[in-house]
Homo-oligomer: A and B are copies of this chain.
């Protein structure tokens, strides 16, 4: 009898709901700043309020929601402030993970190059963003520090909301695919420092257009 079950036990409803709600936020079904009506939403999803509230609580801790006592749950706003704050952190997390990973394996190099082609060919922004995230995860796949990887994935999710919300209004960002090539090139040459520096640049390549869009948005409200 294994202490840790070999097959992953099926998720309970709360955990499934957390995944669904996360997707609904990405898709824009739950808009930024929107208030959650627990009764309506639970009925719409065909569950009761208890597991829904637990799922919302999980998202609060992920910073995707906020909970104001006696007023309820709200989808977190997209703010210039948060967006700007995320960058310097991600810019140190990813290179650190790359250093810990070391030079990629032969198979990993192949995957990185394959993904890079797929990114270039992707037509819609949603798959492009997914593939870009997959590329960055593959880049640090040799990193055994699961806490660091978990952090990076959380930051990916937080960035993704901005990228997708932007894309809904502005179609596509021409992500700097060339930098991925440069990073691979540097790693093949065993130039870790150079790879990290290019990676740091690559991580901020989307910044300006989205910042400009956020400012416009702000102006419309104010």
Q: Which residues of A contact B (CB under 8 A)?
A: 9-12, 14-15, 50, 53-54, 57-58, 60-63, 67-71, 82, 85-86, 88-89, 92-93, 96, 100, 145-148, 151
Contact = CB atoms under 8 A, between A and B. Distances in A.
Given A9-B69, A92-B93, 9 more contacts: A12-B70, A53-B54, A57-B61, A60-B61, A88-B148, A89-B145, A89-B148, A89-B151, A151-B151
A173 to B, nearest CB: 23
A96 B85 contact: no
Contact of A58 (B14, B61, B151): B61
Given A54-B54, A58-B61, A147 B89 contact: yes
Contact of A92 (B11, B86, B96): B96
A9 B10 CA distance: 38
B9 A68 contact: yes
Contacts of A9: 68-71
